[in-house]
Amino acid sequence: MTTSTLEEAYKENPLSLQHILPIDFQSIQEVPNSHLWPKINNVPTSHNDKNPNVPIIDLIDPNVVELMGHACKTWGIFQVVNHGISLKYFDEVESQARRLFALPTEQKVKVVRSTNGVTGYGTARITPFFSKFMWHEGFTIVDSPLDHAKELWPNDYKKFCDVMENYQTKMKVLSFQLCMFILNYLQPSHEHSINSFEFEGALQLNSYPCCPNPYHALGLAPHTDSLFLTILHQTNNTKGLQILKKDQGWTSIAPVSNDALIVNVGDLLHILSNGEFPSVYHRVLVDQTKHRVSLAYFFGPQVDSIISPLVSSQDNDGVVLKYRNVTVKEYLGLKAKHLEKVFSMIRI
């Protein structure tokens, strides 16, 4: 079994098994009370809602640093095109993810996440903070999913592992490139270069089964992602992601094309930017007839790294630091206990 340092960050904050095990979506005919939210103030995703003007950034644009910095500042989310990753990789991961989620519940629970772990099958970590459960099941991978894949498909696990490992390698390279652009924007003088950090990542396969009552269910409840950034792939015909936009409320984000990737700022980048880049609140709606699968890659500094707001030495006198120094491990531990209240706990 691969143990990762991310695992260590959550060790002291175990969840109860009751909060980790998703219900058996395959046998369910109507939304049980445990999953019934007050009316979601929105139309289901199959309706024709508009895409807001989330910036679309071409990675080969000569002004990419400026464009990305501006997008992080004003939106906390953007889409990237021309990232160089061929469509076939997304299709492969999606089809392996669907293969996993289509397994009978008795099989999937064989690889359920441990109560103090990160990898494996289960609900979202934020589950205990809400009085209702989400219409969602996930599978989290850090590096190799070999042990879990062998458990699920004793004679046919190789394809799943190859596809997931290959995708993480591609995502790591892209994440590193995005971080480089972002850090260049924050500190053009390179006082803190990307080389100041060791990075790690986690791949989350998200499944949102068809839901008999999408007006009263939520795929993922409102949250911010914790690490530096998240790269999300959602298929073109099944949108569901919404962001909370000041003055506009919940707004849907549909991909501009099948190979566009959504990138959002996470909490650690919010802290690093001294609050200049917002870690955007988002949630996921579900659909009555479409089983949606999304692929989220979370990327951030290794858990022992210290995150402190970056202000360049020229600005140092005039800029008020908003957050104290915090290690990634301490931050994730605090968030596991207090969710969004964590910001007030590290604010200076």
Ligand X SMILES: O=C(O)CCC(=O)C(=O)O
Residues that bind Fe ion (CB under 5 A): 225
Site string for ligand X, 152-191 (x = CB under 6 A): ----------------------------------------
Number of residues that bind ligand X (CB under 6 A): 12
Name which of 34, 186, 161 is nearest 93 in CA terms. 161
79 binds, among Fe ion, ligand L37FFZMX, ligand X, none (CB under 5 to 8 A by kind): none
Residue 292 appears among annotated catalytic residues: yes
Cα–Cα distance for residue pair 206/122, rounded to 1 Å: 10
Say if residues 212 and 286 touch (Cβ distance below 8 Å).
Answer: no
DSSP β-bridge partners for residue 264: 77, 230
Kindly identify the residues of this chain, within the stretch 7-26, that bind ligand X according to CB under 6 A.
none
Counting beta carbons within 10 angstroms of the beta carbon of residue 242, is it exposed (0 to 12), middle (13 to 18) or buried (19 or more)? buried
Residue 294 near which of ligand X, ligand L37FFZMX, Fe ion, none (CB within 5-8 Å, type-dependent): ligand X
Among residues 113, 125, 283, 292, the one annotated as catalytic is 292
Q: CB under 5 to 8 A by kind: which of ligand X, ligand L37FFZMX, Fe ion, none does 171 bind?
A: none
232 lies in the binding site for ligand X (CB under 6 A): yes
Query: To 5 degrees, how large is the angle CA 95–CA 100–CA 9?
Result: 110
DSSP per position, 272-287: HTTTSS----EEE---
Burial of 32 (0-12, 13-18, 19+ CB in 10 A): exposed
Q: Which is nearer to ligand X, 72 or 243 (CB)?
A: 243
Cα–Cα distance list, 340 to 73, 240, 245, 307, 330 (Å)? 20, 22, 17, 18, 14
Query: Closest separation between CB of residue 93 and Fe ion, Å?
Result: 17
Q: Which amino acid is at 345?
A: M
Near ligand L37FFZMX by CB under 6 A: residue from 126, 163, 262, 263 = 126
Find the part of the chain contacting ligand X (CB under 6 A) among 22-30, 43-51, 184-192, 234-242.
234-242
295/310 with CB nearer ligand X: 295
Enumerate the active-site residues. 292
Residues in the site for ligand L37FFZMX, rule: CB under 6 A?
Answer: 6, 118, 124-126, 140, 202, 204, 220, 223, 225-227, 298
